[in-house]
Amino acid sequence: MSTDEVVFSSLDKALPIEKIDLSKRNVRLTKPADRLEELKSSIKRLGLIQPPVVIQRKDRYELVAGQRRLLACKELGWATMPALVIKPVSPLTEEMISFGENIHRRKLPYDDTIRVCDQLYNSYTGPASRRIKRMSLDLGISPGTVAKYLAYRLVPHNVQQFVVEGKLSASLAYRLTSAFWPNLEMIESVAIEATKMTKAEWERALDAKRQNPKATVREVVEAARKPPSRQDIVIQIDLETYTELEKVAAKRNTDVQNLVRRLILDFIEEGEP
């Protein structure tokens, strides 16, 4: 069986949601409602920017792509929603449409995300906590994620001074701020302890905070001093890929090993796209 051409027949600006059925060939089978609150927040403030794709089946419509958007609009109480209507295609093509949209809906690149967050932060007024709350609503992401992207500019003055004096790297100052925000007192306390730690120890300190967000400074420091307990994973990649990873790591003031480690942790914390 081969795929056929996708032909758009119309854009329905107000398709009744009650007439939309989920296609059996939709590829997003796991966690369709994962992190739906963030999507709902974005749709509520900005509208449905990218309409789902449907096929008309007599007097009803089959959803080919956009399951999470449909769920979000339902939970928001919408009676209708915009949708792109395509002409009927083969079952294989339906699956390819669903797969293609999901696999290509990647997150905004890291550097671009920081740039957008920085611009938004500058456009707002008031204390940092208020700006972050507004950005969280506008972008549809959690306040913690916003703080992570803004951590370079949120680093407390005393911690910045440690960087100037060479006691902490800029990268570590950023990571500490991101991990312990908005508790400025705790950021400074952990930073003081980090100036006395080895690289492996402050990595364990950050791990302790991820595993127990309510951990005290003492608990974080004690965890950092304990012998390491982690599992090494060995993977093989081509030289070209490794070279690209080195470039990205250099831009973030770290090495490849810690870059990959942080990307994995971010993926686990933030969930699947």
- Domain end, chosen from 53, 86, 104, is at 104
Same domain, 96 and 153: no
Q: Would you give the end-to-end CA distance of the chain in angstroms?
A: 30
Amino acid letter at 39?
A: L
Per-residue pLDDT reduced to its tens digit, 34-81? 567 878 888 888 888 888 889 988 889 999 888 888 989 999 999 999
pLDDT at 106: 52
Is the residue at 16 inside a domain?
yes
Same domain (yes/no): 121, 214: yes
pLDDT above 80 (res 177)? yes
Q: What's the domain count of the chain?
A: 3
Q: Do residues 117 and 209 both lie within one domain?
A: yes
Residue range(s) defining the domain that contains residue 200:
110-230
For residue 110, is pLDDT > 80?
no
Shared domain for 16 and 100, answered yes or no, is yes
Name the residue with tokens 């966690």.
31
Q: Where are the alpha helices (DSSP H) in 181-255?
A: 184-194, 199-211, 217-225, 239-251
Task: Output the pLDDT for position 73.
Answer: 92
Q: Where is the domain boundary, 53, 76, 104?
A: 104
pLDDT at residue 162, rounded to an integer: 87
Distance between CA atoms of 255 and 272, rounded to whole angstroms?
25
- CATH number, residue 23: 3.90.1530.10
45 and 65 share one domain: yes
Buried b (16+ CB within 10 A) or exposed e, 231-256: eeeeeeeeeeeeeebeebbeeeebeb
My answer on whether 60 and 85 are in the same domain is: yes
- 2 located within any domain: no
pLDDT at 24: 72
> Same structural domain for residues 116 and 222?
yes
- Tell me, yes or no, whether 172 and 246 share the same domain: no
Same domain? 74 vs 181: no
Residues 208-267 have pLDDT tens digits of 887 788 888 888 888 888 876 666 677 888 888 888 888 888 877 677 887 887 787 777
The pLDDT assigned to 30 comes to 47
Q: In the structure, what pLDDT confidence band is assigned to residue 272 with cuts at 50, 70 and 90?
A: very low
Domain identity same for 74 and 144: no
Per-residue pLDDT tens for 136-166? 777 667 787 787 778 777 888 888 888 888 8
Are 141 and 178 members of one domain?
A: yes
Cα separation, 20 vs 17, in Å, equals: 5
Q: Can you give the pLDDT at residue 81?
A: 92
Q: Is residue 1 part of a domain?
A: no
pLDDT in the model for residue 98: 67
Residues 219 and 202 in one domain: yes
More confident residue, 192 or 259: 192
Residue 52: inside a domain: yes
CA pair distance 47, 44, nearest whole angstrom? 6
- Does a structural domain hold residue 3? no
